[in-house]
Structure formats: structure tokens, C-alpha cells
Amino acid sequence: MNRSRIALLAVVLGLSGTVTLQTLQSGQAVEMMAAAAGDFLASLPEAQQAQATFAFDSDERSRHHFIPPEVFERHGVSYADLGFEQKVRAQDLLRSGLSRQGYLTAQQIMEVEGILGVLVEGEGRRFSRDPEAYWVSVFGTPSTTGTWGWRWEGHHLSLHFTVVDGAVTVSTPTFLGANPATVPSGARKGLRAMRAQEDTARDLLASLDAGQREVAIFDDVAPTNVVTGADLVVDPLDPIGIPGADLSSGQQEMLMAVVDSYIGLMADDIAGLRRAEVAAGGVENTWFAWAGPTERGEVAYYRVQGPNFLIEFDNTQEDPNHIHAAFRDFDGDLGRDLLREHVAQDH
């Protein structure tokens, strides 16, 4: 890691800057995001402000993907093109929507992009990788009372936040990935950016008895990627695997630990809203499904589906050492359901 990046990380970890991990408390996410977005935009020169901002109802708000930028063109202002202070403000915005663990996970996902860049360069691959190849976008006017949103996106990290009437936050769709999933060598050997998302599911799988495993494992062959990809709208998939109703109370807690490895990445009050929605659907109506071998180091896919959400996790590429994962809301991605209520109330 170069000196400028170390210095920047020291700032965004709370030694200075406008947003600190310690002050990110429940009920503050909208205020924190509005302040951070406003400060970020104010730090930009006019040309970069124009790149970073879009109308809330712009078609751009619904564009998203987790694949590399040379395959899917990103819009917004490039993090790589920002000055030092502007990068601090951008990191403040990123952190304002995430928990401490979520922010560190995002940093590690971006960090392994740089490690991947070294690996692919050594292998002579066509495209390089850059830990600063991410784009920041703001939709509408940040405020604590209005309707607006923001996005942080690049390879293996696509985060979307929507604020409706200043009172409700939506944090889906959420795409995460890591390549290498486990750093194979060097100073960061053993780093696993998505450790919790894999290990909680493996813990649940290991707890199943023979009969439960027979139900939960729906295929000996894992899909080659998350089934829903980056579809704009995701409908419920056929319920497969084992329902929470057929798990013991301890196993139900383990199932919820899988779900919380994603929800817990978000700031406290955003995570609280998501947990309430998951709880309303009922753990008994939440399904866990696995495909592929069960041994660590082999290709793996799992799915957790409740009445109103879907999680997919896939580690099937690079021998395998390349994760893709997604958390989707069937009706709430990009705030669709809340925006419908908003329009109905106002009109």
C-alpha cells in the first residue's frame, strides 16, 4: 500500500474528517449521509460536480453491475480522479451508510482489487485492476427531508442508498465480491474480505443432519454465477432447499447469522429496518439452499430466500477463489415500494 493511500486510510478511519465511526449511531444515517454527500459535492470543482450529480428520476439511478468497468461502463465521478481532500469526503460518504464492519469490508474488497492487479499483471491478462476504479454518484439533492440517493460502484462493489421523504433509507440492491477471495501470498496472505458471508453459511451447513442435508443440497453442481445476475428487478425464485420451519432453534439462529452477515454491513438504523423486514417475513418462511460440493476449497453456491428478500453467494471461479454475492429486495430495490407510497400520498 503506497504512502498516500495509508495516509488517506488513517484519515477515514477516524483520526480526522467529518464523519467518525464512533458517531454513527442508530437513527443518524440519513443525517450523516446528507451531510457527507453535501460536503463531498461542495468539495468538487464544477466539472466534477456535473459528473457526480444526476436527477433523482434519471435512468442512471437504475443502472448497476458488479463486473469490471471495461465490460460495464460506469458513470459518475471517478474516485481515481479526485484530489486527497475530495477522496476523504468520498470516503466519508461511503462510511456514512455502513457499519464499522461494513466499511472495513468495503475497504478490503477494494484492497484486493489492487492485489488482483498485481496477480493479473503477472499472468499477462488483458485488463489490469485498480483499487481506485470506483465511481460516486448522487441522485437528487441531499437533505434530511427530501427524496434522493447515492451510489458507490465499481468491480465487486455496488452499493445503493435511497432516502424517501428524509425518513426512510433503503440499501438495496447490494452487490459484493472478492477476487482473490483468499489472498494466496504476499504481505496480506490469508486476507478474506468476505469471510463472514462464507463462514456463517458453512457453519449452518455443517450443523445439518443427514436428512436435513439431503433436503438443503439441491444440486451437486453449483451455478457458475449468482442466478439473478444484475437484473434490474428480481422476482422470488422457486423455494428450494430447507425452510427455517424444519430447523432447530439453534439452526434458525445460524440461518439468521447468515442473513445478518449482509444486513450488518449497513449503518445501524438502516440495518434495523432491514432486520425488521426479515423478521416480519418469519424465520420459518426463510429457506436455505446449497449447491455443489460441501468441502472447503471446492466450488460452492448458496441461497437464502425469505418472503421479501434474496441472498445469493457464489464461489466457483479461479479454482475457486472468486466470490460474487448479492442481497436483493423483491419489491424494495432502489426504493420502489416506498416511492409508490410516496407518490400515492402526494397525488
pLDDT tens across 235-247, in order? 999 999 999 999 9
Residue 248 has pLDDT above 60, yes or no: yes
Please say if the pLDDT value at position 16 is more than 60: no
Q: What is the mean pLDDT of residues 154-164?
A: 95
Task: Flag whether pLDDT at 7 surpasses 50.
Answer: no
Per-residue pLDDT at 117 exceeds 70: no
Percent of the chain beyond pLDDT 70? Answer: 87
Q: pLDDT tens-digit profile of 42-55?
A: 999 999 999 999 99
Phi, psi (deg, nearest 5) at residue 297:
100, -10
Quote the CA–CA distance of 112 and 250 in Å, as a whole number.
34
The x, y and z cell numbers of residue 276, run together, are 425488521
Determine the pLDDT at residue 127: 62
Q: Do residues 97 and 161 touch, judged by C-beta distance below 8 A?
A: yes
DSSP letter assigned to residue 62: G
Q: What's the mean pLDDT when you consider all of the chain? A: 89
Q: How far apart are the C-alpha atoms of 210 and 136, rounded to whole Å?
A: 47
Cell numbers 484486493: residue: 112
Alpha-helical segments (H) within the chain: 3-10, 29-42, 46-52, 84-96, 100-122, 195-207, 210-216, 249-263, 268-281, 336-346
Tens-digit pLDDT profile for residues 164-200: 998 878 899 999 999 999 999 888 999 999 999 999 9
pLDDT in tens, 200-229: 999 999 999 999 999 999 999 999 999 999
Collapse the DSSP code of 139 into the 3-class scheme (helix H, G, I; strand E, B; otherwise coil) and give the result.
strand
Above 80 in pLDDT, residue 126? no
For residue 10, what pLDDT is reported? 42
Binned at pLDDT 50, 70 and 90, residue 69 comes out as: confident
Q: Reduced to 3 states, what is the DSSP secondary structure of residue 312?
A: strand
Would you list the domain boundaries of the chain? Answer: 3-172, 195-331
Asked whether the predicted pLDDT for residue 14 surpasses 80, the reply is no
Render pLDDT for 269-281 as a digit per residue (tens, 0 to 9): 999 999 999 999 9
pLDDT top residue among 332 and 124: 332
Rounded to an integer, what distance in angstroms lies between the CA atom of residue 45 and that of residue 237?
45
User: Residues for the chain: how many in total?
Assistant: 347
Mean pLDDT within 232-261: 96
Q: Which residues contact 343 (CB under 8 A, 6 or more apart)?
A: none
Tell me, what's the pLDDT at 116?
A: 72
- End-to-end alpha carbon distance in the chain: 53
pLDDT band at 340 (very low <50, low <70, confident <90, very high): confident
